[in-house]
Structure formats: C-alpha cells, structure tokens
Structure 1
Amino acid sequence: MTMWGRISGRVCRVATTKSWRPRDVPGSSPLQIIPECNHNNTEQKFPNLVLNNRRNDYKKHNSGNSKITFPFLVLIAASINHEETDLEETKLVGDGNRDIALLIMKGRKMLKERCSFEKIEEVYIEALHLALTRKDRNTIAYVQDQLANLALRFNKLEKAEELFKHVIRNLLDGGIKENDRSIIEISLKLATIYAATNKHDLAISGYNWTIESCRSNLEELKKTKLKTVEQKEDYDNQFALLGMTLDSYGRYHFAMGRSKEALEVTKEAKDISIKLFGENDIRTLVLYNDIGSILSQMGNIEEATEILEKVVSIANKTKNIDHGDLAVFWVNLCGIFNKQGEKKKAIDALRKARKEANSSNDRTLQKQIDIYINELGMQ
C-alpha cells in the first residue's frame, strides 16, 4: 500500500489519503535540498534551501534561462498510487484478463529491478494489444494509464501527455463522469507535464480546474453528512487529492518566482495535512519547511527561522524520522542562520546535519553537505 491509501476496484489508480507525498518513487530518496530560486540572476554563495525529492537531476530555475524544468513536479505526479499488489492488479482488470494482469505485474517487477524504459514498455504494449483485441474500453484505459505513468517516471513527457489524453477519452467514452477522481488525478498529472514543458497557460488552467473540481466534489460529499464509512473514506481521499494538488501548485508557483501565490496554496496544503495526519507527521513537517523557505525568499527571515526551528524540534522528538529527512531539515535551518549572519549557529546546525546524513545511505546528500561545510570554512 502506498503512503496515502487506495481505492480498490477502479479503472485507473486515483489519489487517496496515502498517495500525497512523493516518497516512494523507485530510484529516488524521500527529500532533496534545493537552492532557492534566484530570480534576480545574482550569485548567492550559500542560499536558503527548499525541501523536495532528493534527486541529482534537479535544475535550479533562473529567470535568465529560456527553458525551465520541473522534475520535482513530475515526481509528485508520477508517485500517485504507483504500486499495486498482485491481488489488486488481478481484481482491477478482471479474472477474464488475467494474462493482462500478469503482464502488468511483470512490468512493475521490471521497474523495481530498474530495467530500461524500452524493455518495460514492450511488456506494457503487449498487454495493450491484448486489451485492444478484446475491445474493452476500461481495460484499454487501464493499460494506457500504466504506460503513461511509466513514461512520466522516465521523463518521457510528450509520450506521457498523449497517453494520458487517450486515457481520459476512453474513460469518458466508457461512462466515467468528468468530475470523477480518476479524471481529476490525470488532470493533475497533465498540469505537471505542462509546467515541465513550459506550457504555462495550460499548466495554470490544469491546476485551477483540478482544485475547483476537488472543492466542488468535497461540497457535494458534505451534503451526504458523511454517514457511512464509504462516504467518509471518499471525502478523505478527495481531500488528500486537493492537498496534493495545492502542494504541487505551490512548488510550481515558487519555481516561477510567485512567492505570494506559493505561500497561499502551500499553507492550505499544510492545513489539510494537519487535519488528515496531524502536526507531527513527516508530510506536515515537509510543508512547514517549504513555507519557511518561501518566507525566507520573501524576506520574512524572522518568521522563517521560527518555523524551521519548530520543524527541527518536532522532528527530533518524532520516532521513525528518516536520518536523511532530518539532515535536510538541519541544512535548511543552517541556510537561514547563515543568511542572518549567525555563523556559529549555522555551523552547529550543519554539524548536526552531517551527523544525520552520515547515518543515512544517501551519498548525494552527504556530498551536498560537504560542499556547504567547505563554504562555511568548517574543518
């Protein structure tokens, strides 16, 4: 089961209360320290940092660049309910399509084994051919969704975009309503693709439509008084999808230099996370940390420091916090202290970050911290 839960028996995997945070992407670590956006194109020796997926292919946004890439947004979209169990896979495509289910499971196993995109794609295409011969729209849409998610995870964005559009058409032709959660989830993924490919008008429209659709569905669910367990679960899952969308939209705003808009939607995402998981949950702490980074970018250093100190304090008292996560929190706090000219505090925070990083298996993070250590003149 993924981080935020699952709805079973649906054609396409939909966002649920355990699929918000992109922590389970194969081949990546949970968090990343990322230099803040340098919108004035001026050099900053030791910038403040933003929390995200630790990946070495992140490219910092610079207003002087003609092309902007947003792999962190793509990761958010690609991580939505990726993993299924063998039993769920068979149930989703039906007993009459067991051969298709086995091919999808084979492809997923190959993905975990880090096989090439081309080899995994061949397996999924074989499954799609079987679905097409049976003229089953639901199964066709399901396999296309698998292919689209695969393309998304391998950064084949144009291919993913076309496949997701085919999935939506097949779902709508098959009787799925436009406001169904499966359609909304795909719209979020398309919005992240548009952001990553510089189709910014489409990205903004996609994010706004997804948010409005989530809010509308939540209002309709409220009218039921949430009397049944199913209704309550449906509400929480829709609420989680809204939170996921706001989280992604906030990161997009921040990367584009719209700090005010980023702060507004990230705060709402944080409030949703608190309601679903509590204030001490790692997902909430990540959002608090992002808020601190946005405030720092806006020049609200005092408030940013207060928030980041709170994050570190809670994380230190919370069981089962990953060493890499805690290291990133300390590095971000170090960046704030350094920005204030508090070199002693900055060095102390960085030492604690190095200690946590050394307890993790993230070599990329360890190398990043070593760079900051040299910049601060530490031994």
Structure 2
Amino acid sequence: MGILGAKVDNENKEQSGEEKIIHMIKLAKLSHERKEFKKSEQLLHLALRAAYEIQHHDAQRYIIDDMANNAYETGNIKKAEKLFIDLMKQLLSDGVAQNDNAIIHISAKLANLYAMFHEEVKAHEGFNFCIHHLEAKIKQGADDFDTLALYSLILSWFGDFVHGRGDFTKSLALFKQSHEISVKINGKHHPHSLLQLNNMAASYTLMNRLEDAVDCLNTALVLAQEVQMDDGMKDLPYYFINIANVYLTQVEKSANDAKELLKMAESSCREALKCAKLVDNRDALIQARKCMKQINSMQAL
C-alpha cells in the first residue's frame, strides 16, 4: 500500500507540474503578444526549470523553441542561433531523424538567421538542405498538411533570400511554387497564399513586368476583402501601398501617362491610409503617409 501510495503521489506531482508549465507557457505567450518580451522570457525560463525538474522532455523542447523564437523576434540573433542549435542537438541525440519536420523547420530558421548575418553560404546551404529533404519526402508519397505547409513556408523564405540578392527570376519561381502549395492546403484566401501574391508582385516589379505586378496585387486585394481573415486584413494596407508604388514606378518610365498614374497611386494610397487606421496597423500607417508625401511632391513638379 505504501509503494502504491508513493506511485500515485509521484503521478499527481508530475500532473500538477505539467499544469504549472502549461500555465506559465500561456502567460509567456500573452506577454509576447503584448510585446512584453522580457517578461515573456522570464516566464519561459521558469517553465523550463519546472520542465527539467519533472524531466518532461517534450515540454523542454517546446519551451526552448519558444525562447529561440523570442530572441529571433527581438533581434537577439546570436542568442537565437545558439538556442536553435542546442535544440537541434537535443532532438538528434533523442533519436529524431535528420529529415524529421522538426529538424527541417529549425534548420530553416537558422538559414533565415544566417541570411540576416549576411552569411550567405550558410544560408544557401541551409535552405537547400531543407528543400532537398522535403522534396525527397514528397517524392516518396508524403502528402500530409504539416509537410506541405512547411515546404510552402520554406520556399517563401528562400524566395525572400534570393530576391534580396537580386535573382528575381528565381524568387518569382519560388513564390509561385509556394503559392500553389498554399492554395492546395490552405485555400486561396489564406494569409500565406495572399502573401505569396504580394511577393510575386515584388519580383514582377523589379523585372519591369508592372502589369503582372498590379494583377497579383489586385487579386490579393479582392481575395483579402472577400473573406476578411484577421491576418489577411492586417496586411491589406500593404497591398494598397505596393500598388501605389508600382504606379509610381510606371510614372518614372512613362511621362505621357504621369498625371493619370499619379491619380491612381493617390487613390491606392488613400485606401491604404483608411485600411491602416481601420485595422490599427501603425507600421502600415507610417508607410502610407510616406507614400502619400512622395505622391504629393511628384504632383507638385
């Protein structure tokens, strides 16, 4: 009876310890959403200590990943790199396969970090590693949501990377592929699908395919307003700003239509201002005002 009682007591302690960890993680996420990053990190450290005390390995991995993401978002790049590498080592030592989605996702985050460091070789190798393993899994028949969602995400990240280095033809192909997969698994109205249309427009603009850029952005605008998902609506002002910027690019190339193009740019910019206020997007509001200032100065010439 004494042994049984001790066993039950240990199980209760473990359960209460797990509940405590979950509660602290929830509080950390809430603090993160409120941009209270220091408080969020402190709560995650407490949760990690509790996870070590009850030897809850899944919780440890989850918390370290959250801590790394926190560091990543607050610009503490070196700390994020160390946490991601430590987490990957722990997963591999626990027997997780190199081509497991968890390893691939962390590798992609590291590749993004290396892109920020301007360590281009490491970034390129990281993205190629991820895409190679995901394509191999898909060729072998993997068709689950998680694998395809991860593939679409990494194609988009790699597209951003090559776009930033001036290879707009390749970035366009990557954004198109990411969009195609996202539409398949998420639907055409999903924020990630809309983001790829916006990304495609950015590549088209720098390839001087301005009509294609406007078509992509107009499609994104129509789809975002049809369903009005929270994330999609928050991005809506940027689509209007980007359309305005495409028109401004056309002004520089065609003096004959300058007056009409400036009117169209102004109309898009006003919509951006209205949407930014509506969804309370401060960054978009600043960008829209900057865009309007540029339009006004061009109209004054």
Do the structures match in fold with TM over 0.5? yes
Partner of 2:185: 276
Partner of 2:265: 346
- Asked if the contact 1:107/1:120 (under 8 Å) is kept, the reply is yes
Q: 1:236 offset after TM fit, Å?
A: 1.5
- Asked if the contact 2:114/2:122 (under 8 Å) is kept, the reply is yes
Q: What amino acid does structure 1 have at the position aligned with 2:264?
A: K
Q: What amino acid does structure 1 have at the position aligned with 2:78?
A: E
Partner of 2:28: 107
1:329 to 227, 239, 245: 239
1:360 is the counterpart of 2:268 = no
SS at match of 1:340: helix
1:319 to 214, 224, 227: 227
What are the within-5 Å matches in structure 2 for residues 74-93 of structure 1?
A: none
- Asked if the contact 1:141/1:166 (under 8 Å) is kept, the reply is no
What are the within-5 Å matches in structure 2 for residues 59-74 of structure 1?
A: none
What are the within-5 Å matches in structure 2 for residues 282-297 of structure 1?
A: 282-297=191-206
Q: What amino acid does structure 1 have at the position aligned with 2:247?
A: F
Per-residue CA deviations over 1:283-328 (Å, capped at 9, x if unaligned) read 3222112111111101122322333333334444x13255543322
Partner of 1:200: 120
Q: 1:135 offset after TM fit, Å?
A: 5.4
Distance in 1 separating the partners of 2:219 and 2:141: 35
1:149 to 69, 77, 92: 69
Q: Percent identity?
A: 24
> What is the TM-score of this pair, normalised by structure 1?
0.65
Distance in 2 separating the partners of 1:204 and 1:245: 12
- Asked if the contact 1:263/1:291 (under 8 Å) is kept, the reply is yes
The runs of 5 or more residues in structure 1 that have no matched partner are 1-93, 223-231
- Of structures 1 and 2, the one with the larger relative CO (CA 8 A, separation 6+) is 1
Q: 1:362 offset after TM fit, Å?
A: 1.9
Q: 1:350 offset after TM fit, Å?
A: 2.2
Q: What amino acid does structure 1 have at the position aligned with 2:246?
A: I
- Asked if the contact 1:137/1:170 (under 8 Å) is kept, the reply is no
1:164 to 70, 84, 108: 84
- Asked if the contact 1:137/1:174 (under 8 Å) is kept, the reply is no
Q: 1:330 offset after TM fit, Å?
A: 1.8
Distance in 2 separating the partners of 1:240 and 1:115: 29
Change (3 A) 1:364 1:153: closer
CA RMSD of aligned residues (A): 2.5
Q: 1:139 offset after TM fit, Å?
A: 4.4
Distance in 1 separating the partners of 2:121 and 2:210: 32
The runs of 5 or more residues in structure 2 that have no matched partner are 1-13, 252-260
Q: 1:190 offset after TM fit, Å?
A: 0.9
Q: What amino acid does structure 2 have at the position aligned with 1:267?
A: K
> What is the TM-score of this pair, normalised by structure 2?
0.80
Q: 1:340 offset after TM fit, Å?
A: 1.6
Aligned length: 273
Distance in 1 separating the partners of 2:194 and 2:30: 32
Distance in 1 separating the partners of 2:30 and 2:208: 47
Q: What amino acid does structure 1 have at the position aligned with 2:26?
A: M
Q: 1:136 offset after TM fit, Å?
A: 5.6
